[in-house]
């Protein structure tokens, strides 16, 4: 019974990842679609985040306002920065390389965590395991290494370090939003994606991993 449930969840995870890859491809070839997706991600991420903060700090209006303003500013900077950088083809390809790595990190964490299980990673998120964290690191490194090799035909072992940094950043983002959901007694940030939770549940790691990966890759290349 437990195995069949894991299998079903894995299939759903794979389907979601394939849809994400399709969306990423459409975003890569069409700037209008790219901009539209950023607007959707930005708006729903803000709405979902605000709903969580209103629950956690329902009696403290000042904290509500300050935390929400900070997050809104971050999302505007994040989406605005991506929109500006996407106007340069090489930088746009770099962004998508990091996004694919972030997705790989998420898939690796889920597969390794479900099949190998083992000790818990943190009290912030009881479902996260050390094996899952290692799986995230492994698949993140494999994804960025071979994708970059396919694009450049160059072997660069330093890219493995960047893959690790991206994976760690994604996991920190995941843990951070898991902590917020636990504080607000929510399983998902919303029902925007039926069966998969809210949009913020899908991009939480990317919000941390993308800036870290982009900064480090720019410094190297």
Tens of pLDDT along 98-155? Answer: 999 998 898 888 888 888 877 887 777 777 888 989 999 999 999 998 888 887 777 7
Three-class secondary structure of residue 1 per DSSP: coil
The model's pLDDT over 151-178, given as tens digits with 9 standing for 90+, comes to 777 777 888 899 999 999 999 999 999 8
Q: How confident is the prediction for the chain on average, in pLDDT?
A: 84
Pairwise CA distance, residues 155 & 148, whole Å: 8
The size of the chain, in residues, is 221
Q: Answer for the pair 173, 204: CB distance below 8 angstroms, yes or no.
A: yes
Structural domain of 17: 2-220
Asked whether 141 and 156 are in contact (CB, 8 A), the reply is no
CA distance 179 to 172: 10
Give the pLDDT confidence score for residue 3 in this predicted structure.
47
| pLDDT for position 118 | 79
- pLDDT given for residue 154 in this prediction: 76
> What domain count does the chain have?
1
- Please answer whether residues 32 and 118 qualify as being in contact, where contact means their C-beta atoms are separated by less than 8 angstroms: no
Q: How far is CA 144 from CA 66, 112, 137, 166, in A?
A: 36, 18, 11, 10
pLDDT reported for residue 117: 79
CA-based nearest residue to 42, from 220, 199, 211: 199
Q: pTM higher than 0.95 for the full model? A: no
Shortest CA distance to 184 belongs to which of 27, 14, 58, 82?
Answer: 58
Classify burial at 7, counting beta carbons within 10 Å of its beta carbon; exposed 0-12, middle 13-18, buried 19 or more: exposed
Tokens of 63: 């904290």
């Amino acid at each position: 019974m437990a195995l069949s449930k894991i299998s079903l969840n894995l299939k759903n995870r794979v389907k979601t990842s394939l849809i994400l890859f399709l969306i990423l491809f459409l975003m890569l070839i069409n700037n209008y679609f790219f901009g539209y997706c950023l607007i959707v991600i930005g708006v729903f991420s803000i709405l979902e985040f605000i709903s969580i903060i209103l629950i956690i700090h329902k009696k403290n209006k000042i904290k509500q306002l300050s935390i929400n303003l900070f997050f809104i500013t971050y999302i505007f900077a994040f989406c605005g920065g991506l929109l500006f950088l996407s106007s340069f083809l090489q930088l746009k390809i770099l962004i998508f390389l990091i996004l694919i790595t972030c997705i790989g990190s998420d898939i690796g964490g889920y597969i390794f965590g479900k099949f190998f299980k083992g000790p818990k990673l943190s009290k912030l998120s009881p479902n996260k395991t050390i094996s899952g964290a290692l799986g995230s690191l492994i698949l993140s490194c494999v994804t960025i290494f071979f994708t970059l090799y396919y694009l450049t035909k160059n072997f660069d072992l330093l890219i493995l370090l960047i893959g690790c940094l991206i994976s760690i950043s994604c996991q920190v983002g995941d843990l951070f939003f898991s902590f917020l959901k636990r504080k607000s007694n929510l399983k998902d940030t919303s029902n925007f994606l039926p069966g998969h939770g809210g949009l913020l549940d899908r991009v939480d790691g990317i919000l941390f991993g993308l800036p870290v990966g982009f900064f480090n890759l720019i410094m190297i290349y």
